Structure 1
Amino acid sequence: MFAGLTSRHLRAPAKIAAVALTLLLGACASTAPPPQARLGLKLAPATLGASISVQQHLKVERNGRIDELDVALQVEPDAIDVVGLAFGQRVLTLRYDGKELTSWRHVMLPSQVRAEDVLEDMQLTLWPAEAIAATLPAGWRVAEQGSKRTLYLADEPIMEIAYSGTPRWSGTVVLENLRYHYKLTIQFAPET
């Protein structure tokens, strides 16, 4: 899936991260979200509670349109890094060390794709619910029941995430954003 990437690309300044999953979440938005809509969630990489290195295929559906992206991601206790590829070409890299978020983007990537939103959506999907709940602002909450996670604002469901297996970064994950009306399907490549 990532034949053109070298270890230098995949290890960037340290590791490759799960942030790209949220790249598509922001990319599929046709307009920037209202200022209060985003949480500003930035959890420390170590709060994932694991080190992971996976490949994903992402598919975003919105308003009858489908966009796809391949992602190499890695999370280590000291950093989250990601490389996103479209049509075999690198379109995005992100790095978050728990303090600073840096990114590079291809000029053709939509301006709505914001690194902060990518990081936030990735962490809402992959991080433990307890780590998320500990940092949510007043009025927000996260709940899990079986293989489903729901993010609420004032008891209104904002995001629903369904997992096909455990850990959360295996199998297929389907995220439905009820506020911005898009669906993200994340297919994790099997570990070899």
Structure 2
Amino acid sequence: MRQLMPAIGILLVMLTTGCSHQLQRQTCVKLTPEVNYCLAPLLQSSSNSEQALSQKISFTHGEKHHELLTELALDTSDMTLVGLAPIGQPLFTVTYNGGEVLSQQNVLMGEDFKAEYLMAIMQLIYWPHEQVNGYFNQGEMIDFDCQQPRCSALMVNEKHAITIDYSDDNPWKSNVSLHFPAANITLVITPLL
């Protein structure tokens, strides 16, 4: 048994280090066949203080439903999003420094996970419209009247390509529902206290 212990330890180290890999991602994403969005610059806080938001995200794509816990952290130099499975298993860490997107992700996320899309969606939800609108090749984010305290949409050819409903005027304190019909995606974000 003593002879097996070092071998088991080495195997465990190999398995845990082999479970994730780092990838450099694109800063521009295709949201619809006609709309590209390039990540906007980082938000500049007047107090230069760090902002962090813990969230539960429920994600539906077609018939598939997933939940994860995230931590979104912003400071003057980085936007970082960390994702965990509901049981606490690390899934990904994505960082945008205003110039490039790097993702460290668990191999269980698969090749289809595109971290840059998640960063783009977070900007559309939390950044002011005037800061993201210059980074679409066409279309723009607008607010529109609805039954919620606030509703926004990505308008493309006079149609809502993406809609975002907020339970509060301040997106950072709000429950958020994002509907993206072209991609068959619904995202529900609940802030955690």
TM over 0.5: yes
Q: How does 1:1-192 map to 2 (within 5 A)?
A: 36=33, 39-46=36-43, 51-86=50-85, 87-137=87-137, 139-145=138-144, 147-190=150-193
Q: Structure 1: which 5+ runs fail to align? A: 1-32
Q: Percent identity?
A: 21
Task: Classify 1:151/1:140 alpha carbon distance in 2 versus 1 (closer, same or farther; 3 Å).
Answer: same
Query: Greater relative contact order (Cα 8 A, min sep 6): structure 1 or 2?
Result: 1
4+ residue runs over 4 A deviation? 33-38, 47-51
Task: Classify 1:166/1:51 alpha carbon distance in 2 versus 1 (closer, same or farther; 3 Å).
Answer: farther
Task: Classify 1:63/1:100 alpha carbon distance in 2 versus 1 (closer, same or farther; 3 Å).
Answer: closer
Q: Indicate the larger mover: 43-52 or 115-124.
A: 43-52
Which amino acid in the other structure matches residue 174 of structure 1?
S
Q: TM-score, normalised by structure 2?
A: 0.73
Which amino acid in the other structure matches residue 69 of structure 1?
L
Question: How far apart in 1 are the matches of 2:157 and 2:176?
Answer: 25
Which amino acid in the other structure matches residue 66 of structure 1?
H
Question: How far apart in 2 are the matches of 1:185 and 1:46?
Answer: 23
**Distance apart, 1:129 and its partner CA:** 0.8
Larger-gyration structure (1/2): 2
Question: RMSD of the alignment, in Å?
Answer: 2.3
Question: How far apart in 2 are the matches of 1:189 and 1:158?
Answer: 28
Question: How far apart in 2 are the matches of 1:43 and 1:34?
Answer: 15
Say whether the 8 Å CA contact 1:48–1:128 is kept in structure 2.
no
Say whether the 8 Å CA contact 2:55–2:71 is kept in structure 1.
yes
**Distance apart, 1:179 and its partner CA:** 1.0
Say whether the 8 Å CA contact 2:31–2:37 is kept in structure 1.
no
Q: Structure 2: which 5+ runs fail to align? A: 1-29
Q: TM-score, normalised by structure 1?
A: 0.74
Say whether the 8 Å CA contact 2:71–2:81 is kept in structure 1.
yes
Which amino acid in the other structure matches residue 60 of structure 2?
E
Task: Classify 1:34/1:125 alpha carbon distance in 2 versus 1 (closer, same or farther; 3 Å).
Answer: closer
Q: Indicate the larger mover: 120-129 or 57-66.
A: 57-66
Aligned residues: 158
Question: How far apart in 2 are the matches of 1:131 and 1:158?
Answer: 19
